[in-house]
Amino acid sequence: MERIEHHASFKGRQEVWQHASASTGTDMKFGIYLPPQALAGERCPVLYWLSGLTCSEQNFITKAGVQQYAAQHGLIVVAPDTSPRGPGVPDDAAYDLGQGAGFYVNATQQPWAAHYRMQDYVAEELPALIEQHFPATQARGIFGHSMGGHGALVTALRHPGRYRSVSAFAPIAAPAQVPWGQKALTAYLGSDPKVWADWDAAALIAQARAERLPLLIDQGEADEFLPQLRPDLLQAACEKAGHPITLRMQPGYDHSYYFIASFMGEHVAHHAAALRG
């Protein structure tokens, strides 16, 4: 691994690292905030953030304001890139497919299958790397925004016992039922809707019997992408399955990082209660 950025922040340190990924077959980058507790030698829980379409690790670490809350609660926060990148990695001219739009699935279709294995990367390879090289415990939480909110929910639901907490900002909550998700899932996984259900939070809720992590979802009522997000479908699925969910519709807020930063402190506190409780 190579550290390519480091900045003092709230008595901790914001870093960016690059490494060769076995999952994607490419170099990958991730941001990591080490709170002052970690710099002092304490092993800390880890909160993973998954970003949305077109983002890299930079959007979150520079715009969300997470560092002050992570320092307060003593949490390491890790934010990987959203997809493999590079001249040999397949891409698409549209912003919602290809580089910057990995959707956190393990692709099975060509030309994507060789590199687009983001689920393996975020759920297995990256945590193993963090726990080996940084002062991290095995207490993990996961959250994200938009495509990354989808990724956080699906990753937690697909791996019972691996995470102690999960939340999302404006997630693509039922990708199998909206154009964004249908386009990506068809490209990466093929045309069978039964396969899509394994990567759809609203569908996975019905199978979530091994554990029932409470879901915290914030959604802006002025979000221009609300028809693509459909938190109502996730809420209905949770109510039918008896799965705990708190869906907060926030008047006046849109899809931007202004929205994310406004409620970041509450989400970090939600995770800290589970990770340090």
Give the active site residues. 146, 223, 255
Spatial distance between the Cα atoms of 9 and 95, rounded to a whole number of angstroms: 32
Compute the half-sphere exposure of residue 19: CA atoms within 13 Å on the CB side of its CA: 16
Q: Which residues, 6+ apart, have CB-to-CB distance to 238 below 8 Å?
A: 205, 215, 244, 245
Cα 198 to chain centroid distance, Å, stands at 17
Tokens of residue 211, six digits? 């554990």
Burial class (CB in 10 A: 0-12, 13-18, 19+), 194: exposed
CA 100 vs CA 48, 54, 126, 136, 228: distances in Å: 18, 5, 18, 27, 18
Cβ distance 212 to 167 under 8 Å?
A: no
Q: Which of the 8 DSSP states describes residue 26?
A: S
CA 206 vs CA 77, 108, 227: distances in Å: 30, 24, 22
Spatial distance between the Cα atoms of 75 and 190, rounded to a whole number of angstroms: 38
Cβ distance 162 to 71 under 8 Å?
A: no
Give start and end residues of each alpha helix (H) in the chain. 36-39, 57-63, 66-73, 118-120, 126-133, 147-158, 179-189, 193-196, 201-204, 226-229, 231-241, 257-276
